[in-house]
Amino acid sequence: MVKAEVLTGNEAIAYGAKLSRIQLISAYPITPQTTIVEKLASFIANGELKAYYIHVESEHSALAAALAAALAGVRAFTASSSQGLAYMHEWVAYAPGLRVPLLMAIANRSLAVPWNVFCDYSDTFAEMTTGWLQLYCENAQEALDTVIQGYRVAEDERVCLPVMVCIDGWTVSHTGEPVEVPDQEKVDAFLPPYRPRYSRLDPDQPMYLIWRGWEDPKATAKFEFFEEEAAQAAKTVIKEVNQQYFKLFGRGYGNGLIEEVKVEDAKVALLTMGSMTGTARVAVKRARSEGKPVGLIRLKAFRPFPSEDLKKLSERLDAIAVVDRGVLHGCGCGVVYSHLRSSLYDLDERPRIINFIAGLQGSEVSVEDFEAMIKKALRTAEAGKPKELVEWVL
Amino acid sequence: MKLKPLNVPVIVEYGSLPTSDWRTLRPELNASKCKLGICVKCRLFELCIKLCKGVCVKYCPEGCMHVTPEGLAIDYDYCKGCGICANECPFGALRMTAEV
Amino acid sequence: MVLAFRHAVEALGRNTVVIHAPGCMGWVSNMPGRTAHKLPAIMPCFASSAAFASGLVRAYEILGRRNVNVFVLAGDGGTADIGLQALSGAAERKDPIIYVCYDNEAYMNTGIQQSGSTPYGAWTTTTPVGRLWKGKERERKDVPLIMLAHKIPYLATASVAYVEDYVKKVRKAARISTIERKGLSYIHIHSPCPPGWRIPSEKSIEVARLAVETGFWPLYEVVEGSFKFTVKPEKLKPIADYLKTQGRFNHLTDQQIAIIQESVNSKLAELERLALAISRSTG
């Protein structure tokens, strides 16, 4: 028996966390993530969720407490955004090195300056080199599902890395949509209780977790190598988990890393992330009804970056238009565009890749904007080379 | 690229790495002046007011002063020669001498 | 500060987890592949040792292991300055942790820079003595009194020169926090640093003792609102006796010494008034 409710993205994440039977939540309010932790607090207050809520006094402390709990062997949850995520950056960089599973929900919000509570990916892109896995969700349903899947992925022994589940601030976090809330029993079957192999910080099996790197830097560097190996292994794990979730719950999201829409017979494709994909779908549908050979690729996993999957897709395409919601400042282009270019560089036959920087500071990307992008991408494919590589949609 | 897994020791035995080789002074005990009683069971020195209160034992930062049935024993593997013991002993039973 | 650590963990026992805030004790406690002790330990980010401890202690509760001592050992920098916010939050949440701040009155690990706990007049590398500056020109923060305002169940000051007093306090903290789960216990222990204070290492305990005997470092505890001096010298020695032992106070003029004596006197008077006021309000 499946419950269907109208939930906002934040509420969906709260339900996902509740179904994942989190045991501890430590969070600090920040727009637009706040209603996640408010909902969780009300679950706990009503006895619907048996978890301990630590009312931390800052985001830095929020991640400190959540990580401590994860180390002790408890399933922990935290959430943040923008300035808060930037404030906890010290811990965000620290966490992957501990190789302990943790899930953090992010309601994407632009980093100041300018002050803005609306969505772009400058906050999570600023954390892209830390080693966290980053999964971006298009809608509330996916957010709920990805939280549950996220714990499975993080706790897998091949991975043991912290995961960020990202949703667009306001567009997804505060917009009500019909969401199927799965049964607790089914989720329990999919996501077993967290039982770490090594209990860290346990007086019965004392472990000293202060890793001191400078006397033997090559040994310490090996540590980072293994961490990266785990991030690469996560690609397989994410795909497996996505597949198993589909079998059990009837919902899958592409192959877990990317989602293809009508790319098989396309010559040109748009590459998007997050909720703007919904608008892009409409534009692509319209274009296809006019006979244009257009497809759409949605990037769900930004970390680990699915280079192999994108390479395979790109072999049949003539042009890809990457729509970036975050700028790689100093490089003159968008973040995903830069990643894609470097992934595809060694292909014998490469598609033309052009970049549209759109949706910054919460600006809307309309169907007309996407139609213009499709036109430009088609022209690029025909001409064999782009007129300009990077265009800011302002 | 394939790397062998890191082998990090989990428990290392006490005494496997003396941390005393940078010492320049070492305490020498004059056993005849040392009035430390053989309080092997009782570590609550405040009760032993008749004895010297074991100031060297309690004030040594490294815990290098040990009470044995034979009297005071100094653990030179970990003594760093700070000199607190010699400075605090009310009977002058400890003296700092140059490390050879 | 190793004394502060050694005696505390002897009192707390094996069922303890140590959170080493970055600083002297944190780094001294390990070498590559070796540790100074056999307790589980971690060094969290500087600004949130207390928050890390909060998460840990609540996780142990969830796992049904309530009698694990969660022991935070932080320096004055990691407590009075960068770590104050997290400590304040943990105190407000009544997280049952034992927080010991070893106060060597500067950021010693990074080379003697001033902290919020550096006393007036002290030389440090960032409050040096020159033509215009004569050491630190401001009074220090009084972290124990800040914690008093948080109404924590157990608060104490201690000194490495008074070991039995300190051990009693640690035991009390363990009982009130870990066993009785009443909230955060805070102990602020005075811990001389030979290179930082410019004293020969063998004089460390003597200098710490003088701090108490001159009234510079009063030893007291506040148990659930009830204030008590635990060591009260009958007649206080003049503060100059304490200041002249240390190279970091070499440059002090008579006027500066007078200022320090005055502030010691007024702090003691303030504590006496507080003791009276608190015991009156708790009846």
Cα distances (angstroms) measured from residue A384 to each of A215, A291, A355, A362, B73: 53, 20, 16, 33, 86
- Domains of chain A listed by start with CATH number: 3-249 (3.40.50.970), 260-392 (3.40.50.920)
Residue B46 to residue C34, Cβ atoms within 8 A: no
| Chain C neighbors of A207, CB-CB under 8 A | 40
> Is A271 in contact with A297 (CB distance < 8 Å)?
yes
Read off the pLDDT band of B13 (50, 70, 90).
low
If residue A314 lies in a helix (H) or strand (E), which one and from where to where? helix A307-314
- Top-ranked range on mean pLDDT: pick from A203-212, B47-56, C232-241: C232-241
Task: State which amino acid sits at residue A76.
Answer: A
Question: Does position C30 have pLDDT exceeding 60, yes or no?
Answer: yes
Question: Does position A303 have pLDDT exceeding 50, yes or no?
Answer: yes
pLDDT given for residue B11 in this prediction: 55
pLDDT given for residue B9 in this prediction: 54
Helix (H, G, I), strand (E, B) or coil at A231: helix
Strands (E), chain A: 3-7, 24-26, 52-54, 76-80, 103-108, 133-136, 163-168, 177-181, 258-261, 268-272, 294-299, 301-303, 319-324, 327-328, 333-334, 352-357, 390-392
Q: State how far the Cα of B12 lies from the Cα of B52, in Å rounded to an integer.
A: 35
Buried b (16+ CB within 10 A) or exposed e, A17-32: bbbbbbbbbbbbbbbb
Question: Does position B66 have pLDDT exceeding 90, yes or no?
Answer: no
Question: Does position B22 have pLDDT exceeding 50, yes or no?
Answer: yes
Q: How many Cα atoms occupy the beta-carbon half-sphere of A259 within 13 Å?
A: 21
Question: Within C63-203, where are the H helices?
Answer: 84-92, 143-149, 163-174, 194-197
Each residue's pLDDT tens digit, C81-95:
999 999 999 999 999
pLDDT given for residue C283 in this prediction: 43
Each residue's pLDDT tens digit, A256-285:
999 999 999 999 999 999 999 999 999 999
> Is A241 in contact with A255 (CB distance < 8 Å)?
no
Helix (H, G, I), strand (E, B) or coil at C219: strand
Paired sense of beta strands C16-20 and C41-42, if any = parallel
| Chain B neighbors of C192, CB-CB under 8 A | none
Instruction: Give the fold, CATH level 3, of C2-281.
Output: Rossmann fold (3.40.50)
Please report, to the nearest 10 degrees, the dihedral formed by the alpha carbons of residues A119, A120, A123, A129 taken in order. Answer: 150
Average pLDDT of chain C is 94
The percentage of residues in chain A with a pLDDT greater than 70, rounded to a whole number, is 99
Residue of A nearest to B3 (CA): A222
| Chain A neighbors of B1, CB-CB under 8 A | 225
pLDDT given for residue C60 in this prediction: 95
Hey, which residues does A25 pair with through a beta bridge? A53, A77
Nearest Cα of chain C lies from the Cα of A236 at a distance, in angstroms, of 31
Span of A143-152, A322-331, A360-369, C269-278 with lowest mean pLDDT: C269-278
Each residue's pLDDT tens digit, B32-45:
777 775 444 455 54
Residue of C nearest to A26 (CA): C55
pLDDT given for residue C275 in this prediction: 87
Q: Which residue has the higher pLDDT, C218 or A196?
A: C218
Q: State how far the Cα of B42 lies from the Cα of A103, in Å rounded to an integer.
A: 50
pLDDT given for residue B38 in this prediction: 44
> Is C42 in contact with A71 (CB distance < 8 Å)?
yes
Buried b (16+ CB within 10 A) or exposed e, A115-128: ebbbbbbbbbbbbb
Please state at what angle helix A9-19 crosses helix A140-155, rounded to 10 degrees.
30
Read off the pLDDT band of C271 (50, 70, 90).
very high
> Is A337 in contact with A302 (CB distance < 8 Å)?
no
Q: Say which residue the tokens 């022991």 belong to.
A: C71
Residue C31 to residue B63, Cβ atoms within 8 A: no
* Interfacial residues of B (vs A; Cβ cutoff 8 Å): 1, 3, 5-6, 10-11
Helix (H, G, I), strand (E, B) or coil at A215: coil
> Is A333 in contact with A342 (CB distance < 8 Å)?
no
Average pLDDT of chain A is 94
- Residue A120: DSSP 8-state: -
Task: Kindly tell me the number of DSSP H helices and DSSP E strands found in chain A.
Answer: 13, 17
Nearest Cα of chain B lies from the Cα of A37 at a distance, in angstroms, of 38
Span of A121-130, B51-60, C97-106 with lowest mean pLDDT: B51-60
Residue A226 to residue B1, Cβ atoms within 8 A: no
Task: State which amino acid sits at residue B46.
Answer: E
Q: State how far the Cα of A118 lies from the Cα of A123, in Å rounded to an integer.
A: 11
Nearest Cα of chain B lies from the Cα of C171 at a distance, in angstroms, of 13
A-C contacts at Cβ under 8 angstroms: 139
Q: Which residues have a Cβ under 8 Å from the Cβ of C163 and sit 6 or more positions away?
A: B58, B59, C3, C7
Each residue's pLDDT tens digit, C200-233:
999 999 999 999 999 999 999 999 989 999 999 9
Helix (H, G, I), strand (E, B) or coil at C119: coil
Each residue's pLDDT tens digit, C107-143:
999 999 999 999 999 999 999 999 999 999 999 999 9
**Domain extents for chain C?**
2-281
pLDDT given for residue C79 in this prediction: 96
Q: State how far the Cα of B13 lies from the Cα of A150, in Å rounded to an integer.
A: 40
- Domains of chain B listed by start with CATH number: 25-98 (3.30.70.20)
Helix (H), strand (E), coil (C) string for A126-161: CCCCCCCEEEECCCHHHHHHHHHHHHHHHHCCCCCC
Task: State which amino acid sits at residue C283.
Answer: G
Question: Does position A242 have pLDDT exceeding 80, yes or no?
Answer: yes
Question: Does position A9 have pLDDT exceeding 80, yes or no?
Answer: yes
